[in-house]
Amino acid sequence: MMFWLLLALALVNTALAKVSTNFNDCRGHFYASTPPQGFDKVSNQAGVITPLCLMYENYNNPFFASLYHKQNHYPLYAAYILDARPGDVTGSDQTFRLEPQLVDTRLPNEMMLQPQTETSIRNIGLSGTPADLIKKAQAVNSDYTGSNYHKGHLNANADHPAGPGQQATYTLANVAPMYGSLNSGNWRNNEARVRNIAASCGKMYVVTGAVPGNNWISVNGVQRVNIPSHIWSAFCCLDNNNRPIRAEGSLAPNNANSVQTGLSISNLTSQLSSLLKVSVTLFNNNCS
């Protein structure tokens, strides 16, 4: 009996591996359990675009999902269920964590601070300097130092009540370089507007993303983090019987404090397809 119990626990831990093919371990964070389509074609290089199910500390269930671009060093999007329960914003003084499995899937599946991640890399005997292995796969906190760009949350911390739901958003697999006036200004106002709408929904699914641009944050002459040309977001609001009742999108150039709001999902999808140069969809049947 003990053997089968241990085997079952091992299988559960395996199933929750953070790097998750086709998001199979966190599809519940997508409307109709269907991730956005087409974003995997933004890069034609194998292994660059990686689906993540974001794990935090010892909690067994993923908190949200993100599609990470390992060359641009930020997600193409993050997907989550907005939790409209009130709560204070916590964790603003947190150091952003890293995702060990972006380096190697044998590493722990929960987000970690950089020193912990480096120790885990040493423990499994990977060849190379741990800090260099991390930097090859993802952004690190020091990339943003002095860059004049904010670590802009895609999954907004204030879209969750105080506690682990907010704390789990403080990972570098959930941020992209965002123009400071936009992040602190009209984008934040738009997030608050969507939270107000969510209060009248039975459930709200949100997808927020970044469009790769032509400029980079460079450190010591090395291009480290691509600067998105645009930031976008879309929500799908369901009633208490899980029927869609409202869906909208928002789009902002990442160089001004200006946001297009109230876009239809088809309009936003069309604009994103043009910007990304690939055909994309955001929600199953456009959340209709």
Taking only the tens place, the pLDDT of each residue in 41-52 is 999 898 999 999
pLDDT higher than 90, residue 171: yes
What is the per-residue pLDDT for 4? 39
Are 216 and 223 spatial neighbours (Cβ–Cβ below 8 Å)? yes
Of 167, 168, 165, 54, nearest in space to 102 by CA: 54
What is the DSSP-derived secondary structure letter of residue 77? E
Are 210 and 230 spatial neighbours (Cβ–Cβ below 8 Å)? yes
What is the DSSP-derived secondary structure letter of residue 19? B
What is the per-residue pLDDT for 91? 55
* Domains recognised in the chain with CATH numbers: 19-91+147-287 (3.40.570.10)
pLDDT higher than 90, residue 16: no
